Amino acid sequence: MKYKDLIQISSHVWELPATGEMLVPGRIYANDKLISQVYRDNALAQVSNVAKLPGIQKYSIAMPDIHWGYGFPIGGVAAMEVESGIISPGGVGYDINCGVRFIRTNLELADIREKLPHIIDVLFRQVPAGVGSSNSIPALNYTELKEVLKEGAKWAVRKGYGKDEDLDSIEEYGCLNAADPEKVSNKALKRGADQPGTLGSGNHFIEIGVIRDIFQQEAAQDLHLHKDQVIFMIHTGSRGLGHQICDDYVHEMLMQSHKLKFRLPDKQLACAYINSTLGRNYFGAMACAANFAWANRQIIMHKVEEGMLKALDLQPDELGFELVYDVCHNIAKFEEHKIDNQNKLVCVHRKGATRAFGPGRKELAAKFHFLGQPVIIPGDMGTESYLCLGTDRAMQDTFGSSCHGAGRTMSRHQALNTASYNQVMNDMKAKQICVKAADKKTLVEEMSSAYKNVSDVVDTMHEAGIIRKIIRSQPLGVIKG
């Protein structure tokens, strides 16, 4: 696809007209700096393919961090009408409920600057990281694991990993009630039994950061955030369990694709009708993986707090470790949205996209009712990150959705051929960022130049009115898998 295929709707929105089998247009969010990067892979073709799926409402949407993904583009959003629409694992992703949590502390930069290497060493021992990482807590038997899959973060809190008030600061309060562990294979259960409280690999991380800029002082104060404050971010998902659930249902949906009343535009868009037995089974299993991920991040947060208390010899009230919010960016959920001036229940797929509900939505805890939902948008390990808030405009234009990060500009293989481990480490040292990883290769794959400029991505959504920027943070120390 070329530039001529897109029509510029505004300074930050482009439209891919509905042609051929497309049921709706595509809508791409990008400013002048980012639009050329949309053409570097074939992600626009994926936007077009998603627009061909039955039941899709209004637009096939792509965020400014869009890049090629499995079936759906990463950075893709699609809302499906429930009665006639489909649900697709490709619209959720293999790492179901990969997400980020943002944590405030009572610490200032001066409190930890000289102690960062020690802190990173302690946290690296505290939270297992890397491919196949396991045994942060004792391995669970299948009965215990199914409790996790049903209860999500609530299970972790019930077991002593955090506080009840944490749940108010988690999307969906940390649990999708539709979870059905009986729809999860034994292979998936086996892969997940020893992985709660583990970071995994790839772009997952634990980051210690410092708030550098406040864009809206009143909102920052409402969230108990201020300049030079030390914050933490935790980014991980449902580990091997979620991956296996996705794999199981992609295979099953492909096996049953002859039952569909339309032609799949791409086998990676394997799907089932939402109201079919297979569609309901997938949603029940996907909800289990989402709950596993929320429990996983809850346990990691507790482990990081324990590590910080140990590393700095502090009491909990001195550390002030408090969850600001936890969002997911690989999920499908049933939500009510206004379409053609009517409230309508739809299944919203967000794949590499973050929920960004505006003020007043019933799904938000009381403390966010007037603010809107916090939206966490991390950069790469060497660049800034943002905490934002969802807006009314997001509810009108994007089904309450925003971008989820910077978005890759080169594959992991390309990154490995572009730089060496020593080059990446020297870059981190020059930026005064303390980094530790389970695998040297991961650091090269995750180097800053493999990603878009996160500030350009966030500014696109802010200037389009989808989110409003509240704070910008910079990394001080990063743990990678």
* Beta-carbon-side half-sphere exposure of residue 214 (alpha carbons within 13 Å): 14
| Encoded amino acid at 55, one letter | G
- Is residue 258 annotated as a catalytic residue, yes or no? no
CA dist., res. 297 & res. 30, Å (int) = 31
**Residue 468, H or E segment:** strand 467-480
Residues contacting residue 461 through CB under 8 Å, at least 6 positions apart: 12, 29, 63, 64, 388, 402, 403, 467
CA 447 to each of CA 247, 392, 428, 465: distance values in angstroms, whole numbers, following the listed order: 28, 35, 9, 30
Nearest by Cα to 183 from 248, 268, 259, 139? 248
CA dist., res. 165 & res. 14, Å (int) = 41
| Encoded amino acid at 45, one letter | A
253 conformational bin, left if phi > 0, alpha if psi -120 to 50, beta if neither: alpha
Catalytic member of 204, 235, 302, 404: 404
Token pair listed for 374: 């916090």
Q: 14 - beta bridge partners?
A: 8, 28
One-letter-per-residue 3-state SS of 187-236: HHHHHHCCCCCCCCCCCCEEEEEEEEEECCHHHHHHCCCCCCEEEEEEEE
DSSP state of 408: B
CA dist., res. 2 & res. 368, Å (int) = 42
CB neighbours of residue 260 within 10 Å: 16
> Which active-site residues does the annotation give?
404
